[in-house]
Chain A
Amino acid sequence: MTNFLIKRAVTSALSLFILVVLVFFLIRLTGDPASLFLPLDASEEAKEKFRDLNGLNDPILHQFFQYFSDLIRLDFGISLRRAEPAIDSVLRGFKWTLQLAAITMSLVASLAIIIGSIAAFRVGGFFDRIVTFFSLIGASAPDFWIAIVAIVVFSVGLGWLPTSGTGTVFHWVLPISVLFIRPFGLILQVVRGSMLNVLSAGYIKTARAKGVKDTAIVFVHGLRNAMLPVITVIGDQAAGILNGAVIVETIFGFPGVGKLMIDSILQRDFAVVLASIIITAVAIFVMNILIDIIYAILDPRIRY
Chain B
Amino acid sequence: MAKSPPTAKDNNTRRFVFNAWLLMLARDRFALFAAIFLLVLVGVALVGSFALEDVATKQNLRGRNAPPFDFNKDWIFWLGGDALGRPLLARIFLASRNTLMIAASAVSFSLIIGCFLGLIAGYTSKFFSHLILRVADVIMSFPSLLLAVIILYMLPPSVINIVVVLAITRIPIYLRTARAEVLEIRERMFIQAATVMGASNKRIIFRHILPIIIPTMVTIATLDFAFVMLAESSLSFLGIGIQPPEITWGLMVAQGRPYLTTAWWLSFWPGLAIILTTLSLNLLSNWLRVVLDPQQRWRMEIGDQKNG
- Tell me, yes or no, whether B92 is within 8 Å of chain A by CB: no
A152 and B145 in contact, given A29-B153, A136-B283, A144-B233 (Cβ under 8 angstroms)? no
Residues in A whose Cβ lies below 8 Å from that of B142: 19, 22-23
A247 and B153 in contact, given A22-B142, A261-B145, A273-B146 (Cβ under 8 angstroms)? no
Binds A, one of B50-58, B77-85, B264-272: B264-272
Q: Assess the B283–A265 pair: CB atoms within 8 A.
A: no
- Tell me, yes or no, whether B212 is within 8 Å of chain A by CB: no
Interface readout for B225-239 with A: 1 if CB under 8 Å, 0 if not? Answer: 010001001100110
- Tell me, yes or no, whether A60 is within 8 Å of chain B by CB: no
- Tell me, yes or no, whether B198 is within 8 Å of chain A by CB: no
A152 and B150 in contact, given A18-B134, A142-B233 (Cβ under 8 angstroms)? no
Q: Assess the B230–A156 pair: CB atoms within 8 A.
A: no
Within 8 Å by CB of B230, from A11, A142, A152, lies: A142
Shortest distance between the CB of B183 and any CB in chain A (Å): 17
Binds A, one of B15-23, B63-71, B111-119, B273-281: B273-281
- Tell me, yes or no, whether B257 is within 8 Å of chain A by CB: yes
Q: Assess the B279–A137 pair: CB atoms within 8 A.
A: yes
- Tell me, yes or no, whether A220 is within 8 Å of chain B by CB: no
Q: Assess the A156–B260 pair: CB atoms within 8 A.
A: yes
Which residues of B196-235 have CB atoms within 8 Å of chain A's CB atoms?
Answer: 226, 230, 233-234
- Tell me, yes or no, whether A5 is within 8 Å of chain B by CB: no
Q: Assess the B145–A145 pair: CB atoms within 8 A.
A: no
Within 8 Å by CB of B237, from A18, A144, A151, A277, lies: A144
Q: Assess the B306–A27 pair: CB atoms within 8 A.
A: no
Within 8 Å by CB of B275, from A18, A29, A31, A142, lies: A142
A246 to B141, alpha carbons, bound, how many Å?
A: 15
Residues in B whose Cβ lies below 8 Å from that of A244: 143-145
- Tell me, yes or no, whether B154 is within 8 Å of chain A by CB: yes
Q: Assess the A247–B234 pair: CB atoms within 8 A.
A: yes
Q: Which residue of B is nearest A276, CB measured?
A: B143
Q: Assess the A265–B145 pair: CB atoms within 8 A.
A: yes
Interface readout for A235-259 with B: 1 if CB under 8 Å, 0 if not? Answer: 0000000011011001000000000
- Tell me, yes or no, whether A26 is within 8 Å of chain B by CB: yes
- Tell me, yes or no, whether A148 is within 8 Å of chain B by CB: yes
Residues in A whose Cβ lies below 8 Å from that of B267: 145, 148-149
Shortest distance between the CB of B136 and any CB in chain A (Å): 10
A80 to B130, alpha carbons, bound, how many Å?
A: 38
- Tell me, yes or no, whether A66 is within 8 Å of chain B by CB: no
Q: Assess the B282–A139 pair: CB atoms within 8 A.
A: yes
Interface readout for A275-292 with B: 1 if CB under 8 Å, 0 if not? Answer: 001001100100000000
Shortest distance between the CB of A240 and any CB in chain B (Å): 11
Interface readout for A131-156 with B: 1 if CB under 8 Å, 0 if not? Answer: 01000110111111100110110001
A142 to B270, alpha carbons, bound, how many Å?
A: 11
Give the contact-size bracket for chain A: 35 or more
Shortest distance between the CB of A24 and any CB in chain B (Å): 12
A11 to B137, alpha carbons, bound, how many Å?
A: 10
Q: Assess the A243–B274 pair: CB atoms within 8 A.
A: no
Q: Assess the A246–B145 pair: CB atoms within 8 A.
A: yes
A140 and B275 in contact, given A19-B141, A152-B261, A244-B145 (Cβ under 8 angstroms)? yes
Q: Assess the B275–A145 pair: CB atoms within 8 A.
A: yes
Within 8 Å by CB of B282, from A23, A140, A156, lies: A140
Q: Which residue of B is nearest A141, CB measured?
A: B275
- Tell me, yes or no, whether A35 is within 8 Å of chain B by CB: no
A30 and B149 in contact, given A23-B142, A247-B237, A262-B238 (Cβ under 8 angstroms)? yes
- Tell me, yes or no, whether B253 is within 8 Å of chain A by CB: yes
Residues in A whose Cβ lies below 8 Å from that of B260: 148, 151-152, 156
Residues in B whose Cβ lies below 8 Å from that of A15: 134, 137-138, 141
Q: Assess the B278–A140 pair: CB atoms within 8 A.
A: yes
A261 to B257, alpha carbons, bound, how many Å?
A: 22
- Tell me, yes or no, whether B250 is within 8 Å of chain A by CB: yes
- Tell me, yes or no, whether B308 is within 8 Å of chain A by CB: yes
Q: Assess the B261–A140 pair: CB atoms within 8 A.
A: no
Q: Assess the B150–A27 pair: CB atoms within 8 A.
A: yes
Shortest distance between the CB of B141 and any CB in chain A (Å): 5
Q: Assess the A137–B237 pair: CB atoms within 8 A.
A: no
- Tell me, yes or no, whether A107 is within 8 Å of chain B by CB: no
Shortest distance between the CB of A18 and any CB in chain B (Å): 5
- Identify the A interface with B (CB < 8 A): 11, 14-16, 18-19, 22-23, 26-27, 29-31, 123-124, 132, 136-137, 139-145, 148-149, 151-152, 156, 243-244, 246-247, 250, 261-262, 265-266, 273, 277, 280-281, 284
- Identify the B interface with A (CB < 8 A): 134, 137-138, 141-146, 149-150, 153-154, 226, 230, 233-234, 237-238, 250, 253-254, 257, 260-261, 264, 267-268, 271, 274-275, 278-279, 281-283, 286, 306, 308
Question: What are the nearest 9 A-B pairs in CB distance?
Answer: A145-B271, A140-B278, A124-B306, A140-B279, A30-B153, A15-B137, A144-B237, A18-B138, A265-B149
What are 16 residue pairs bridging A and B, where the CB atoms are less than 8 Å apart in the complex? A11-B134, A14-B134, A15-B134, A23-B142, A27-B146, A123-B308, A139-B282, A140-B282, A142-B230, A144-B250, A145-B253, A145-B271, A148-B257, A243-B143, A261-B145, A265-B145
